[in-house]
Structure 1
Amino acid sequence: MPSRRSVLASIGSLATVATAGCLDVSSDIDPGTSTDTDWPMPDFDSRATSWARDAAAPRETPAERFRIDLPSPTDRPVVADGTVFLPTMGGLIALDTADGEEQWRYAPAEAAHFFPSPAVHDGTVYVTGEDPGLVALDVTDGTVKWTVESDDRMRAPPAPTRDWRALYVGDDAGRVVRVTPDGEIEWTTDVYGSVTRLVAHEPAGVFVGTTAGEVHALYDEQGVWRQPVPGKVTALAGTEGSDVYAATFGGGTLRLAGGAHAGRPRWHTPDGPTAHRSFVLAESSLFGTDGAGLTRQNHRTGERDWRLGDDYFSAPAAGGDTVYVGGRREVAAFKISGGLGIGGARFEARRWTYRFGEGSGGNPTVADGALFVPITGGEDTESGLLALE
């Protein structure tokens, strides 16, 4: 019969293994502490990671900084220098981050108008949409500085380079344009299908996703590679190297290899999240939503780590060690680590849930010490913008 000491040692070993299974490589990410972080691009940075690592944002049950009624939001707000730039069906609206007071509104047409998220840099707001193409606005009053006209709608947000030497835009005819910050067209080229997403790739390249189910890598106007994927491209995010992550409508997610591999899939997860609009890329984790919850995948293997919730569909955003997502009647905050658990069984993953009545929480933004959440109205809820802190 084994001794009492050996039995206790065995139990201790098993406990160690179980505890190890509960730990997570992302659990050492620190909370953000910066209360003046900007979110100047549609998905935070030029790689479209949607993760403001140093940004302070609500980790406990939040309070409202403000909530204001506005026309239906159409995309994620962008924040720079104390101003929220919110795209809506009634125009691009500039609001004070402290109290939501409206500063100006750009609405080029009387009819309802779709705007994607803009990009903001050095006193200029860069806006795409249905008409007339790429527009540069003065950040202080919304007056037009210059335009790059297009015969077709530009429904993809602009994609600036990391150093802001240029930004890329694309239209529904498959035309891709590289433009300098002062409006000079450096080159144009065509891809197959309407442009849905763009991600700049240094030093002079861009990844392009299309409705035709293709991802293109362009470099200095020339096509480097072209990779068919199983569906319309709904999200792109770049690695620190030359790879790109792509989400497709109904076809799962892929990691496409760059360089000499010429777009070859490193992995393909057919049942991965559609990743509505954008991913969150936080260290070894790739987050996306598809109406069936918030899913985390391992970015090296594509393996699904876990899925939480069952009704989240907004593009996620992350600040510090927390990822935020909107859904019907609420917005929620989850630990990037997924809390405790083994595999898909997770415990203590949710930080908080904030409910706001009928309607839906749209694509959130982490900036200025707060979480900015667009709201699409319902029976008892007006559309607008909610700021939580």
Structure 2
Amino acid sequence: MHALDAASGTKQWRFSPTESPWFTSPIVHDGLVYCTIAHKGMYALDAATESVWWSHTDNHRYTAFSLVADDSVSDPHLIAGTKSGVLCRFNLKTGRKIWQRDLFGPISAFSFKSSSLYVGTSGGEVYTFYTAGHKGLTAIRDYDTKKKWRVDGRYDTTKPAGAGDTMYVSNGSAVHAFAMKGGCGIGTIRTRAKRWSHPTPAKALGGLAVADGALFVACAGHNNNPTLYCLESAESP
């Protein structure tokens, strides 16, 4: 892969860590160049110096990848798909894999618009994922998609977890418990929906889990030392 001066065409640098062919076109964002090599993983390079910021040489055959970043996205990130049908999300600066999900068939294309990520596979399926930062917590009836209730706030740090009549969410600085039915009120207007909140030193990592009457929260902790909280019960922390 070559970096050329846009005005003169002068070669700035050349990157070739392997003889394998390049599988996807590079993406340039915020001073970094993201690229994949068939059978040899993914690289993030400094656009000015060619130095490698991070890499994943895990032998995944990445068949498509895309940048998810616009005014509606609170946490820009990189989405990549593999020949085996694995969809992955990566942190742009560190390359840390945030989550992955198995889909049907090799992932062939991405499109992002209006807070939604569309993923196409060679198996003929199209998936839609809502990826932007949420501005509230909304309950929607699954059989007709009608909104049941909504509370304002940012609760998009990690996936919610539900157990019994309680829904658990995180906003990065605390975990919150909401009544599954949205508290009291008429229609979407509700009061006393929140049951309790418990502060955390950093945002939750990898989701929330409920088991044996307790809520488990894994956080980054202080100085990048992971911390696991066990909060009991569904009524109070």
Q: RCO (CA 8 Å, sep 6+): is it higher in 1 or 2?
A: 1
Query: What's the TM-score once normalised by structure 1's chain length?
Result: 0.31
Report which of the two has the higher share of strand. 2
Report which of the two has the higher share of helix. 1
Query: What's the TM-score once normalised by structure 2's chain length?
Result: 0.48
